[in-house]
Amino acid sequence: MPALCFCYEVHEPYQLRRYTVFDMGQNSIYEDDDHNCEALLRAARLCYLPANELMLRLIRRYDGAFRLSFSISGVALDLFEQYTPEVLESFTALARTGCVEFVAETAPHSLAFLYSRQDFDRQVREQSARLEHLFGVKPVTFKNTECVYNNDLAAAVAGHGFRAVLAEGADHVLGWRSANYLYRPASAPGLALLLRNAGLSGDVGLRFSDHSWPAWPLRAETFAAWCHGLEGSADILNIFNDYHVFGLRHDKKSGIFDFMEALPGALLAHEEFSFTTPALAAENLRPVGEVDVLQFMSWEDEGRDLTAWLGNDMQKDAIHALYAMGPRTAACNSALRRDFDRLQTADHFRHMSTKWFSNEAPDRPSPFASPYDAYITYMNVLADFELRLKADESARATAAAAGKPADAAPVAKARGRVGADAALNNNTKSAVKNAGSPAPRRGGKSPAEIQDANPADTRAAGSKKTGTTRANQEKKPATLRKSRKNA
Amino acid sequence: MFGWEFPPHISGGLGTACFGMTQALARKGAEIIFVLPRIDSDVEQEGFLRLRPASGTPITEDLARRMEPTQYEHKVVWPGGVRCMPVDSPLMPYLTPHEYVRALGRHDVHESAGPAGLSVPPAPAASKMRGPRRKTFTYTLHGGYGPDLMREVLRYGRLAAALAARENFDVIHAHDWMTYPAGMLAKNITGKPLVVHIHATEYDRSGDSINEQVAGVERAGMLAADVVVAVSRLTRKTVIERYGIPPEKVLVVHNAVARHEARRRYPVPPRIRHEKRVLFLGRVTFQKGPEYFMEAARLVLQKIPEARFFMAGSGDMLPRLIRRAGQLRMGSRFHFAGFLRGEEVDRMFALSDLYVMPSVSEPFGITPLEAMLYDVPVLLSRQSGVSEVLEHALKADFWDTRDMADKICAVLRYPCLAAELVKNCHEEMKSIRWENAADQLLVIYRNVQGGH
């Protein structure tokens, strides 16, 4: 009973404007609102609205037999709310059908897992809570930014209580094995691991409008026949793509909408085939084996590695400079917090890539003339951000000195520092441990952690000023764990 | 090949380009006869090509008669009746030797710019009869860029064409407008195909206040040519739009840079090691945009007071800029290095942390490539031909001094940016070679021959 599992990544970044050294310290308007608004309106017109409408139609037509899932980034949600609420409504309408699963990711579409577990955890919690609030279902599946994945991530995701995680079916990891089955991560046996079928995903995602491709023009019947051909050798076919494939990467004239419209019918013509979502697959399928991923992998580029974001020294310098400020942002005001999150969006680092100087994805163009401009802008922004951070810190220090009721602030700050260090220590230790063996201790502890964290989170959502309480709540498990370890 | 400059007879990029190009062509098996206005006897000959002076070539009466009619001078092609008339300085391709010399602080004319300085005394304009029986005559040429350039150009045309009549070759290749009359005449006399090479147009040199005579010669040369080679897409566009040349015969062959072997290393003196130096190197004229560099420097110094700026070169805008630097009270941070040559240039490059070329209009611009040979990152104006071939360079519009200043600050502040630029440029430079340009030219030669 092979099933097709569609998951579309929905992500729109806040692009930076050309922020110069002369803006630094003068103003803190980092983003190009005009550009972002225009890009979003265009994406909504060409991609989101028609594609969502199509999906809704398909779900209704096949009466529940057609299912799909989305991983929407938090920044995309922010942008939708800001500029195109109708897109958000169309997603809500899809959610109401019950045939759509919403997959969690890091709220700012960040690479936080690589540098700051603290930020990662917070971003995942925020995003989960937000998706639950918006679509009424608590997400049970997690897909990290651009499918960045390794054993540690699986363990962390299990710790957050997720039941399934998505990753790339990279050949160098799978070897002779096929991505068309359900696996379990070596570090988190309770978790279901869905691996992307790179070939079939790429046929739709990359090659669909490529006239030099032998299979062009691809028809839904052909594609369905390819899937049907895998009947005996597949449990699940994971087609993960950027939602931009509809209307942006392949424009309407390429026939991508017609293709999608005809696909469910063509595929369901074979009675053994069905559509599924990651959560359903995790429930219904049994893992056939364990996948051990020591190195980070992603769904990007030929190498399926991190070089699209961290390939050169500019990118590394920028991201190191960013996360070096991480601990200091733990107790800062909410505007700073928000900017810090948005600066983590992976797109900023991709724009600095010198790897694909001339042939980047046409649907996600860099707003900058060159990677060097991207780096210069980003570093200028970061410098201004640090100035603000410093001002915020000293303001809080003076407030504390004045003995205001914000007595808690410095305490929280101090605790935040300690907590961060503890978490960092913890992080490295567990990473080492995880590499060696699955971490049952972590798994055992995780529910407590989540219960602990969740009330704090909802409270935080309710009232904006509870930064201190939240920080306190958050630190508890970390410090606890530390003391236990010490004992 | 007809050329006006060749090392060591150079006053700008033209000679450097001709040298690199011919060297690579010769290495690819092309045989080149390079005709210069004159060659000083004490200069040793280059091994890879045959350098010929046009000066002193005898012209027979028969040949002179064949040169007379149609095709050139005022009758047909050239607008505005180009006659041998003394012309004023603004039309010079670069600076006049007068100004050059003046800017250099009155160096001895004869050694400062090679033959370029020689045309200061009144032109002898002697057509001498030699040997009453053979009835030939000739002119003496000075080369360089004197006040009587147009007359010199026409004389060169006749002499070079006469020389061409005696030599055996397949293609005529003329570099810049000074040699177009020669190219047209030679084509007329020998019937060989003509390739004209645009290193710069009058619009690049003079902005919109162009010299009609020069532009006329350029247009006539391009129209007469079988193929027009432009050094960049930018120049190609000018050629097509401003001169009305049919696009299909205008091709782009980008310039390159010759690598000198065994580059010397110049260590940064310890006392200035903590500082960052930004360099402008080029003629201090409107075309090169030095005032934009100064404006950017002013902005940078607001943010990074310990930066240092160097302006190397001379030109008609220099006095104004020196006054301006004083006015802005940044003389202690903005230095005028004067006209540099030879080893001084290398040293200047090697000591710089960034090379800026803010040209208002630059058909190509080889100096950034030279800077890159010294691992110096470069910031180019988008209005330059070289920015077409350099992906891994910082670019800014010349008028956008804030953007320029922002990028200068970034290079000075983030060592990682400079390192990345240099690293990628290294890769890129591997493909910017005269050999590639030579390959393209050889294809062009073959095609024009086939067409004939």
Average pLDDT (A313-319) is 93
Nearest Cβ partner for A379 among B395, B414, B420: B414
Contact at CB, B424 and A354, closer than 8 angstroms: yes
pLDDT at B451: 58
CA distance B416 to chain A (A): 6
Task: Please give the residue that has the higher pLDDT: either A181 or A482.
Answer: A181
pLDDT at A443: 38
> Which of A40-44, B108-112, B299-303 is least confident?
B108-112
pLDDT tens, residue by residue, B323-354? 999 999 998 999 999 888 778 888 889 889 99
> Which of A20-29, A356-365, B325-334 is least confident?
A356-365
What is the DSSP annotation of A404-472?
-STTHHHHHHHHHHHHHHHHHHHHHHHHHHHHHS--HHHHHHHHHHHHHHHHHHHHHHH-TTTHHHHHH
Average pLDDT (B249-266) is 78
Tell me which residue has tokens 């978490």. Answer: A423
Contact at CB, A379 and B402, closer than 8 angstroms: no
pLDDT at B426 over 90: no
Residue B42: pLDDT band (50, 70, 90) is low
pLDDT at A476 over 50: no
pLDDT at B129: 37
CA distance B421 to chain A (A): 8
Average pLDDT (B31-53) is 72
Task: Please give the residue that has the higher pLDDT: either B133 or A200.
Answer: A200
pLDDT at B366 over 90: no
- Domain range enclosing A247: 3-291
Task: Please give the residue that has the higher pLDDT: either B80 or B398.
Answer: B398
pLDDT at B229 over 90: yes
pLDDT at A322: 95
The winner for highest mean pLDDT among A376-380, B2-6, B184-188 is A376-380
Annotation marks residue A81 as catalytic: no
Mean pLDDT score of chain B: 78
Q: Looking at the domain assignment, is residue B176 inside a domain?
A: yes
pLDDT at A470 over 70: no
Residues B187 and B278 both lie in one domain: no
pLDDT at B18: 86
pLDDT at B106: 37
Distance CA(A128)–CA(A134), nearest Å, equals 10
Mutant choice from B409, B426, B428 vs A, greatest count of A C-beta within 10 A: B409
Q: Looking at the domain assignment, is residue B85 inside a domain?
A: yes
pLDDT at B136 over 60: yes
pLDDT at A224 over 90: yes
Phi/psi for B253 (5° steps) reads -125, 110
Q: Kindly report the CATH number assigned to the domain that includes residue A122.
A: 3.20.110.20
Nearest Cβ partner for A372 among B303, B394, B405: B394
Give chain B positions within 8 Å (CB) of A373: 394, 407
> Which of A339-343, B80-84, B307-311, B344-348 is least confident?
B80-84
Residue B265: pLDDT band (50, 70, 90) is confident
Mean pLDDT score of chain A: 83
Q: Which two tokens stand for residue A335?
A: 């505007």
pLDDT at B41: 57
Average pLDDT (A156-171) is 93
pLDDT at B127 over 60: no
Residues B194 and B316 both lie in one domain: no
pLDDT at B116: 36
CA distance A451 to chain B (A): 44
Give chain A positions within 8 Å (CB) of B421: 372
Three-state secondary-structure class, residue B420: helix
pLDDT at A432 over 70: no
Provide the terminal-to-terminal Cα distance of chain B, rounded to the nearest Å. Answer: 18
Q: Looking at the domain assignment, is residue B265 inside a domain?
A: no
> Which of A342-346, A406-410, B21-25, B215-219 is least confident?
A406-410
Q: What secondary structure, in 3-state letters, does A85-114 show?
A: HHHHHHHHHHHHCCCEEEEECCCCCECHHH
pLDDT at B196 over 50: yes
CA distance B295 to chain A (A): 14
Q: Looking at the domain assignment, is residue A188 inside a domain?
A: yes
Q: Looking at the domain assignment, is residue B59 inside a domain?
A: yes
pLDDT at A376 over 90: yes
Work out the angle between the directed axes of helices B13-27 and B434-451 (0-180°, nearest 10): 70
Provide the terminal-to-terminal Cα distance of chain A, rounded to the nearest Å. Answer: 51
Average pLDDT (A170-183) is 90
Nearest Cβ partner for A20 among B392, B395, B402: B402
pLDDT at B32: 86
Task: Please give the residue that has the higher pLDDT: either A405 or A216.
Answer: A216
Contact at CB, A380 and B392, closer than 8 angstroms: no
Give the residue from chain B lying closest to A378, CA to CA. B410
Give chain A positions within 8 Å (CB) of B377: none
Q: Looking at the domain assignment, is residue B2 inside a domain?
A: no
Q: Kindly report the CATH number assigned to the domain that includes residue B203.
A: 3.40.50.2000
Nearest Cβ partner for B420 among A18, A20, A313: A313
Please report which helix (H) or strand (E) contains residue A474, including its range: helix A467-486
Give the residue from chain A lying closest to B299, CA to CA. A22
Give chain B positions within 8 Å (CB) of A313: 416, 419-420
The winner for highest mean pLDDT among A295-304, A430-439, B14-23, B190-199 is B190-199
- CA distances to A384, A437, B255 from A185, in Å: 41, 11, 56
Residue B12: pLDDT band (50, 70, 90) is low
Mutant choice from B417, B422, B423 vs A, greatest count of A C-beta within 10 A: B417
pLDDT at B121 over 90: no
Q: Looking at the domain assignment, is residue A104 inside a domain?
A: yes
B358 CA to centre of own chain: 17
Residue B332 is classified by DSSP as T
pLDDT at B380 over 80: yes
- What residues does A241 pair with on adjacent strands? A8
Task: Please give the residue that has the higher pLDDT: either A479 or B230.
Answer: B230
Give the residue from chain A lying closest to B421, CA to CA. A372
- Domain range enclosing B63: 13-256+437-451
pLDDT at A87: 96
> Which of A19-28, A305-314, A473-482, B344-353 is least confident?
A473-482
Q: Are B374 and B304 in contact (CB under 8 A)?
A: no
Mutant choice from A26, A352, A372, A376 vs B, greatest count of B C-beta within 10 A: A372
Q: Looking at the domain assignment, is residue A411 inside a domain?
A: no
Q: Which two tokens stand for residue A31?
A: 């983003």
Q: Does A21 touch chain B (CB under 8 A)?
A: yes
Residue B102: pLDDT band (50, 70, 90) is very low
pLDDT at B16: 81
Structural domain tally of chain B?
Answer: 2
Residues B50 and B199 both lie in one domain: yes
Average pLDDT (A318-341) is 91
Average pLDDT (A313-337) is 91
pLDDT at A336: 93
Name every residue whose Cβ is closer than 8 Å to that of residue A189 and which is 6 or more positions away in sequence. Answer: A290, A438, A443
Name every residue whose Cβ is closer than 8 Å to that of residue A159 and which is 6 or more positions away in sequence. Answer: A442, A443, A445, A446, A449, A450
ipTM of the shown complex: 0.75
Residues above pLDDT 70, as percent of chain B: 76
Q: Looking at the domain assignment, is residue A245 inside a domain?
A: yes
Residues B97 and B242 both lie in one domain: yes
Q: Looking at the domain assignment, is residue B350 inside a domain?
A: yes
pLDDT at A237 over 90: yes
pLDDT at B119 over 50: no
Q: Are B365 and B384 in contact (CB under 8 A)?
A: yes
Catalytic residue among A9, A12, A146, A168: A146
Which residues of B make CB contacts under 8 Å with A? 299, 303, 391-392, 394-395, 402-403, 405-407, 409-410, 413-414, 416-417, 419-421, 424
pTM: 0.78
Residue A109: pLDDT band (50, 70, 90) is very high
pLDDT tens, residue by residue, B280-304? 998 898 889 999 999 999 999 999 9
Q: Looking at the domain assignment, is residue B261 inside a domain?
A: no
Contact at CB, B402 and A22, closer than 8 angstroms: yes
pLDDT at B146: 66
Residue A200: pLDDT band (50, 70, 90) is very high
Give the burial class of B69: count Cβ atoms within 10 A of its Cβ; 0-12 exposed, 13-18 middle, 19 or more buried.
exposed
> Which of A196-200, B246-250, B282-286 is least confident?
B282-286
Q: Looking at the domain assignment, is residue B263 inside a domain?
A: no
pLDDT at B401 over 70: yes
Average pLDDT (B180-205) is 88
Mutant choice from B300, B413, B420 vs A, greatest count of A C-beta within 10 A: B420
CB interface of A with B, residues 337-356, below 8 Å: 354
pLDDT at B100 over 70: no
Three-state secondary-structure class, residue B239: helix
Residues B96 and B42 both lie in one domain: yes
Q: Looking at the domain assignment, is residue A368 inside a domain?
A: no
Residues above pLDDT 90, as percent of chain B: 30
CA distance B404 to chain A (A): 10
Task: Please give the residue that has the higher pLDDT: either A439 or B6.
Answer: B6
pLDDT at A43: 95
CA distance B422 to chain A (A): 12
Residues B390 and B445 both lie in one domain: no
pLDDT at B264: 67
pLDDT at A173 over 50: yes
pLDDT tens, residue by residue, B149-169? 787 888 888 888 888 888 888
Q: Does A20 touch chain B (CB under 8 A)?
A: yes
Structural domain tally of chain A?
Answer: 1
